[in-house]
A and B are shown apart, each in its own frame.
Chain A
Amino acid sequence: DAKTTQPTSMDCAEGRAANLPCNHSTISGNEYVYWYRQIHSQGPQYIIHGLKNNETNEMASLIITEDRKSSTLILPHATLRDTAVYYCIVRAPNNAGNMLTFGGGTRLMVKP
């Protein structure tokens, strides 16, 4: 699996957009980029995933650079409930077992 690099922590003001970067410079052509988040003492929650194109759903937007070596998760209007650890993971779709390997993630603190 391609390794990802994320900032350890970030702060964001409530109501503002939260932009969480992820570096995956060794990503392979068939590897997807996934984002999950984990609110304190809960299981991880799927947010969004993408391969090449930018993606948007009801939770967030995912911007992937043209060379696919980095991506940014955007929470357009962060709320206090978005305070969590955000994990960026890259993985090929048909890897053995389909499991995900979690790195350290980014601890996002949304402040009033």
Chain B
Amino acid sequence: GAVVSQHPSRVICKSGTSVKIECRSLDFQATTMFWYRQFPKQSLMLMATSNEGSKATYEQGVEKDKFLINHASLTLSTLTVTSAHPEDSSFYICSARDRVLGSGANVLTFGAGSRLTVL
């Protein structure tokens, strides 16, 4: 079945530094990928929609200059947390829609997530 790979799975960084998280669709092409954020004991919150070859669409309240998204190919989207601060510490999860699996429905495959800790 469809596989979405995220890297790194865990990252610890100092306040003020930038961190890049990669999301790859391993066996299918994804023109659209989605980035979610999850704080402890909370549900997933959609941050942005990543579109191959064009600008990402950000949800209300998500700073586009802080969370840079690049979707340069049909199998790779990256999320860069710029000038990270402790409040950015969270579980970041990407997802992509597999056209074959989903057919007419919105079946998304999720990555394993990346846990960011900002000291």
Q: Which residues of A are in contact with B by a Cβ distance under 8 Å?
A: 32, 34, 36, 38, 41-46, 49, 51, 87, 91, 93-95, 97-105
Contacts and interface: CB of A to CB of B under 8 A. Distances in A.
Interface in B75-119: 91, 93, 95, 97, 104-113, 115
B108 A46 contact: yes
B43 interface: yes
B113 A45 contact: no
A104 B106 contact: no
Interface of B: 4, 6, 32, 34, 36, 43-46, 49, 57, 91, 93, 95, 97, 104-113, 115
Contact of B34 (A38, A87, A99, A103): A99
B112 A43 contact: yes
B106 A100 contact: yes
B91 A32 contact: no
A91 B43 contact: no
